[in-house]
Structure 1
Amino acid sequence: MKKTNTLVIASLLASLTCIATTFFKINTPPNGYIHLGDGFVLLSGALLGPYVGGLAAGTGSMLADIFSGYAAYAPATFIIKALAALTCGFIYQKLIKNIIIGGILGEIIVIAGYFLYDTFLKLSSIGEWNHTAFSTALLSTLPTIPLNCIQGIVGIVITVILLPIVNRFYKSYTSQ
């Protein structure tokens, strides 16, 4: 029964991550958006642990990219968000039980992951792999960092608010 309960909660968190990412967003230049989904990414890791939480977060975030017309980002999103939830879950459940530190480290992965992936996409669109092209791609991606920092802060705040509430229900549900 415990495995079934965990599967249900993981599916619910993947769905909530997808919904919070897809429907509660603000478009940003040049082609991104700030969303509330990172709160559920971190919550997935904190509640379900690093591995199951990472799969739920990565799946929900990837589906949001596909549904929102950002399919080119879907594979990277799966990996980046799964690693963010894995990190947050590991810190919170296995190390120091501090959701803020877990959230910060998880969001650093998100910020760095998208910076590197955006740089790769821009470099690919330039069509050359030399020093000048790399510098151009790198510099054009720098403006995404502050926007991803804002999204990360919002995600951490959402997690800090929701975790104590959801944790009560989660513990009573999974103990059945």
Structure 2
Amino acid sequence: MKNQSLKKMTRYSVMIALTTVMTMVIHIPTPATKGYLNLGDMVVFLAAIMFGRKGGFVVGGLGSGLADVLLGYTHYAPITFIVKGLEGFIAGSLLGTKLGEKAQIIPLALGGVWMAFGYYIAEIFMYGAKAALASIPGNIVQGLFGAVVASVLSMALKKTGMFDVN
């Protein structure tokens, strides 16, 4: 039992670090909202696929929030923790349904749409409705891109037998 907990913590930690790195490697600033676009969603979705809703939340919230802090977007870190955490939670929850078993991409895409909506709501209070609206297209593209890449990558990893998370 103790070994299983250590294994789980290690896997979560690696995915949190990978989320942080993928968020930081390519980040494209969005001047209207003082935020940025990135590749971290792909890893958040992989965590949701591998670990379910709890892992999706932990990896999404902590990994993405840490990237905000390290990149100097500290004003976004609490919002990111909630929005990206819920992105992973939503995707992980829906992956366990019949819909998720049939078409993995749909729960991931819905998680990405939530992410765009979650930032939109927060940014209304931060910058006003017009600036918040300007961030929606980029965030939707970022979320959907992450969903597609994570879905394809997870299928490839499952074929190698290296995707066992037990």
State the TM-score, normalizing by the size of structure 1: 0.83
Cα distance in structure 1, aligned partners of 2:60 and 2:157:
16
Query: Identical aligned pairs, as a percentage?
Result: 31
> Contact 1:46 / 1:93 at 8 angstroms: preserved in 2?
no
Cα distance in structure 2, aligned partners of 1:79 and 1:39:
17
Cα distance in structure 2, aligned partners of 1:94 and 1:39:
20
- 2:35 aligned with 1:32, yes or no? yes
Aligned residue runs from structure 1 range 97-116, under 5 A: 97=101, 98-116=103-121
Cα distance in structure 2, aligned partners of 1:55 and 1:79:
10
Match for residue 83 of structure 1 among 75, 83, 86 = 86
Aligned residue runs from structure 1 range 1-176, under 5 A: 1-30=3-32, 31-95=34-98, 96-97=100-101, 98-122=103-127, 137-167=128-158, 168-171=161-164, 174-175=165-166
Cα distance in structure 1, aligned partners of 2:149 and 2:31:
24
Cα distance in structure 2, aligned partners of 1:151 and 1:91:
20
Return the offset for 1:94: 4.2
Number of aligned residues: 159
Higher Cα radius of gyration: 1
State the TM-score, normalizing by the size of structure 2: 0.88
Return the offset for 1:80: 0.6
Deviations 1:29-87 (A, max 9, x none): 33222111010111111111101221122100000000011101101100111111011
Unaligned runs of 5+ residues in structure 1 are: 123-136
Return the offset for 1:19: 0.3
Deviations 1:88-140 (A, max 9, x none): 11111344323211111101210111001111112xxxxxxxxxxxxxx1123
> Which letter does structure 2 place at the counterpart of 1:105?
L
Tell me the secondary structure at the aligned position of residue 33 of structure 1: strand
Unaligned runs of 5+ residues in structure 2 are: none
Tell me the secondary structure at the aligned position of residue 36 of structure 2: strand
> Which letter does structure 1 place at the counterpart of 2:139?
N
> Which letter does structure 1 place at the counterpart of 2:117?
A
* Regions of 4+ moved over 6 Å: none
Tell me the secondary structure at the aligned position of residue 49 of structure 1: helix
Cα distance in structure 1, aligned partners of 2:124 and 2:81:
17
